[in-house]
Amino acid sequence: MNFDFAFAMRIVPLVLEGIGNTILVAILSFIGATVLGFCWEIVRRSHWMLRPIAQFIIDAIRSTPALVQIYFLFFVLPYYGIVLPAMFVGIFGLSFYYSGYISEVFKAGIDAVPAGQGEAAESLGLSWADTVILVIAPQMLRNIAAPLGAYSIGILKSTPILAVIAVPEMLGSALDVASETYRYAEPMIVAGLLFLLLALIAAACVAALERRLGLVSQSH
């Protein structure tokens, strides 16, 4: 067996150097994806003519790999003179990719609020704005909390893709160590285990956050 445990332990801190960026990219991409996803869903519902267009864009985003979308942005933008730091491109790319999925979450969350809720609010004479803000939205938020939490973890696990465009996150740090020492097994396994640990911790945090905020779904 050619696996050097001692060496693996030694490089853990080196690989961990990238964790700050990993988390930063994940959070920013999640925010971007949620905002964009929400916008897509608003556009989709706003006008009957925009519906198929928005739906096509959402489906197209979900039909191509994130890696390829990132490559596209990274190589095509400079061609038109738009030169951005790799991290920007990466965050924008991940936001755009996941916005397609998150718009579906919003769609399901809104659709899951029974039509009778809006009818009851209207019957009481509440304005449209009050109906949406006080009756529909709180129920929608409870519906989307769990899927959004799941996607946040998914985004976190996708950040290492950005290593291919030289964003200095954890996988990138591991690859650096590997290329300097010509040993690939140890850095890759260390990276793998660290990412697993990170994902599990993040999942636990998200679950705790949902419980704290009382965002458990109201369905009975």
Partner 1 sequence: MVAMEEEMIVELVKKSISSPQLDGLKVPKAVQIANVSKWFGSFQVLRNVSVDVAVGERVVVCGPSGSGKSTLIRCINQLEKHQQGRIVVNGAELTPGMKGLAAVRRDVGMVFQQFNLFPHLTVLENCTLALVRARKLKRGEAEQVAMQNLERVRIVEQAGKYPRQLSGGQQQRVAIARALCMKPRIMLFDEPTSALDPEMVKEVLDVMTGLANEGMTMICVTHEMGFAREVADRVVFMDGGEIIEQATPSRFFSHPEHDRTKKFLSQILH
Partner 2 sequence: MSFLEIMLGIFEGFGITAEVTFFGLLYAIPFALLAGVLQHFARGLGRWTVTAVIEFWRSSSVIVLLYAFYYSLPAFGVYLSAITVGSMVLGLNGGAYASQSVRAALQALDRGQCEAGLALGLSRFSVLRLVELPQAIRAMIPTFINEAIQLIKGTALVSLITLTDMTFRAKEIAQLSYNPVEIYTGLLLSYLILCYPVTILGRYLSTSYSNTGVRINEL
- The one segment of 56-64, 81-89, 115-123, 183-191 that binds partner 1 by CB under 8 A: 115-123
Kindly state whether residue 158 participates in binding partner 2, applying the rule CB under 8 A: yes
127 interacts with, out of partner 2, partner 1, none, CB within 5 to 8 A per kind: partner 1
Residue 35 vs 80, nearer CB to partner 2: 80
CB 90 within 8 A of CB 66: no
Residue 219 burial (C-beta neighbours within 10 Å; 0-12, 13-18, 19+): exposed
Per-residue x/- marks for partner 1, 69-108, CB under 8 A? ----------------------------------------
Query: Exactly one of 52, 65, 78, 114 binds partner 1 (CB under 8 A); which one?
Result: 114
d(CA 142, CA 136): 10
CB 160 within 8 A of CB 175: no
Kindly state whether residue 120 participates in binding partner 1, applying the rule CB under 8 A: yes
d(CA 139, CA 90): 33
Please enumerate in sequence order all residues whose Cβ is within 8 A of that of 85, keeping only pairs 6 or more positions apart, or say none.
Answer: none
d(CA 140, CA 156): 24
Interface of this chain with partner 2, residues 51 to 70, rule: CB under 8 A:
59-60, 62-69
Per-residue x/- marks for partner 2, 171-210, CB under 8 A? x--xx--x-----xxx-xx-xx--xx--xx--x-------
Distances in whole angstroms, Cα of residue 215 to Cα of each of 105, 163, 181, 183: 15, 34, 48, 46
Query: Exactly one of 46, 52, 53, 127 binds partner 1 (CB under 8 A); which one?
Result: 127
139-154: b or e for each residue (b if 16 or more CB lie within 10 Å)? bbebbbbbbbbebbbe
Query: Quick one: tokens of 27?
Result: 């959070």
42 interacts with, out of partner 2, partner 1, none, CB within 5 to 8 A per kind: none
Site residues (vs partner 1, CB under 8 A): 114, 116-117, 119-127, 130, 134-135, 138-139, 142, 218, 220
Site residues (vs partner 2, CB under 8 A): 1-3, 59-60, 62-69, 71-72, 75-76, 78-79, 111, 115, 153, 157-161, 163-164, 171, 174-175, 178, 184-186, 188-189, 191-192, 195-196, 199-200, 203
